[in-house]
Homo-oligomer: A and B are copies of this chain.
Amino acid sequence: AVDPDRLWNSIAETAQIGATAKGGICRLALTDLDRQVRDWFVARCEAIGCRVTVDDMGNIFARREGRNPALAPIAVGSHLDTQPTGGKYDGIIGVLAGLELLRTLHETGIKTEAPIEVVNWSNEEGSRFAPAMLSSGVFAGAFSRAWACDRTDRGGERFGTALEAIGYRGAEPCGQHPLSALFELHIEQGPVLEAENKVIGIVTGVQGMRWYEVTVDGQEGHAGATPMRLRQDALLTAAAMVRSVGDIAAAHAPDAVGTVGLIECRPNSRNVVPGQVFFTVDLRHPSDAVLDEMEAAMRARFAEDARGLGFRVDDVWNKPAVRFDGECIAAVREAAAGLGFPAREIISGAGHDAAYVAAVAPTTMIFVPCAGGLSHNEAESAEKDHVAAGANVLLRAVLDTDRR
């Protein structure tokens, strides 16, 4: 079994890198804070004799050798980047439980058949560089490396340039790294497990998600002297579209969600009728067919909302729903049962690196509850016992998989 205190201390230690006044973490991908936490992680893995390699998308692999060098590694891991209003658990516990697993194997001297690797994926959050799960996406062949490196943040900086700048562009070509399985431990980020008093979520899949960028073109005008009937107010139109996104999600209740998380208004001056508004849309549903309907409804509503103003909808990302691997799911189910934790099957509302890796390796996830289902929020919180339970399920699922 893992050491709950050591795991909890690692969480507290890394939480200082990018700590916010409200008790969360702001550690955007490929910033200097991201470099700091990567350095921390690499040093800890090397300290217990692991070999660390980095691929050319900045994904970090810390490897503990097994008995059989012919076997591809069994991997665990997640991501160390956060949202601007991130918490201390999202992604982080998946990597640090991996470190804890390595430490436990190291201390007990257990030798596995296959090598065991802990992975930290680059830019999972997608807050700084869209789309999310960018580097696991390249790993799985969903995006080309060239395309991924050309993604820019809102300030115009390229992913590739930022990766070089923090010194984490490795030599290994991303994707040429076979895995025999991947298990990702994560907080649920939603309210289900807590509401049902479950400790472990056996994640059977990830819902479909689509991202769009919308640009509405109006005409700048004087806020005092331009009569309402002569205006082309890009924000008034965008506001109608924001409401439409909410309406469309509500119309596909209870499983659908729709979010406008980012909006920029130009020139953004109090007494100028807005000339251009840029905003993003995030639509999700467990069924890709329902997502098709939602997207069609959105396009139709936007055309009405525009009332003659020009607008453009760019498709930024389309990640179809994923079903995880049956054997991996069974390994998690049995580990949870064997350890006596109340568990239930669950479909992930959030996207995860595992959802890409599932295309190239047998994959699943383990969820633990978070208070009030709150995530992407500085107040995100999880219980020490639950995180330890997740890490123990992870350990057992990995060892069981190794044995087979």
A interface with B by C-beta (< 8 Å): 83-85, 125-127, 130, 132, 188-191, 207, 209, 211, 219-230, 233, 235-236, 238-240, 242-243, 246, 249-250, 253-254, 256-275, 280, 282, 284, 348-351, 373-378
* Contact residues in B for A191 (Cβ distance below 8 Å): 226-227, 230
Shortest CB-to-CB span from A344 to chain B, Å, is 15
Do residues A282 and B271 form an inter-chain contact, with CB atoms below 8 A?
yes
Q: State the CA gap A132–B269 with chains docked (Å).
A: 11
Identity of the chain B residue whose Cβ is nearest the Cβ of A243 in the assembled complex: B239
Do residues B236 and A270 form an inter-chain contact, with CB atoms below 8 A?
no
Do residues A259 and B275 form an inter-chain contact, with CB atoms below 8 A?
no
Shortest CB-to-CB span from A294 to chain B, Å, is 12
A189-B222, A221-B374 given; name 6 further pairs at CB < 8 Å. Answer: A85-B266, A190-B227, A223-B282, A229-B253, A233-B246, A261-B273
Copies of this protein, total: 2
Do residues A84 and B267 form an inter-chain contact, with CB atoms below 8 A?
yes
Q: State the CA gap A117–B55 with chains docked (Å).
A: 70
Do residues B272 and A268 form an inter-chain contact, with CB atoms below 8 A?
no
Could you name 23 residue pairs across A and B whose Cβ atoms are closer than 8 Å? Answer: A85-B220, A132-B271, A189-B225, A190-B222, A190-B226, A191-B230, A211-B270, A219-B377, A220-B377, A221-B375, A224-B284, A225-B350, A225-B373, A226-B349, A227-B257, A238-B239, A261-B265, A261-B269, A261-B271, A263-B263, A270-B280, A272-B376, A275-B377
Contact A272-B83, Cβ < 8 Å, known A221-B375, A222-B350, A236-B243: yes
Do residues A349 and B271 form an inter-chain contact, with CB atoms below 8 A?
no
Q: State the CA gap A280–B351 with chains docked (Å).
A: 35
Do residues B230 and A373 form an inter-chain contact, with CB atoms below 8 A?
yes
* Contact residues in B for A265 (Cβ distance below 8 Å): 261-263
Do residues A259 and B233 form an inter-chain contact, with CB atoms below 8 A?
yes
Contact A376-B282, Cβ < 8 Å, known A190-B222, A227-B257, A263-B235: no
Do residues B239 and A270 form an inter-chain contact, with CB atoms below 8 A?
no
* Contact residues in B for A125 (Cβ distance below 8 Å): 269, 271
- Going nearest first, the 10 A-B pairs with the smallest beta carbon separation are A225-B349, A190-B225, A84-B267, A239-B242, A223-B259, A189-B225, A220-B377, A239-B239, A127-B269, A270-B280
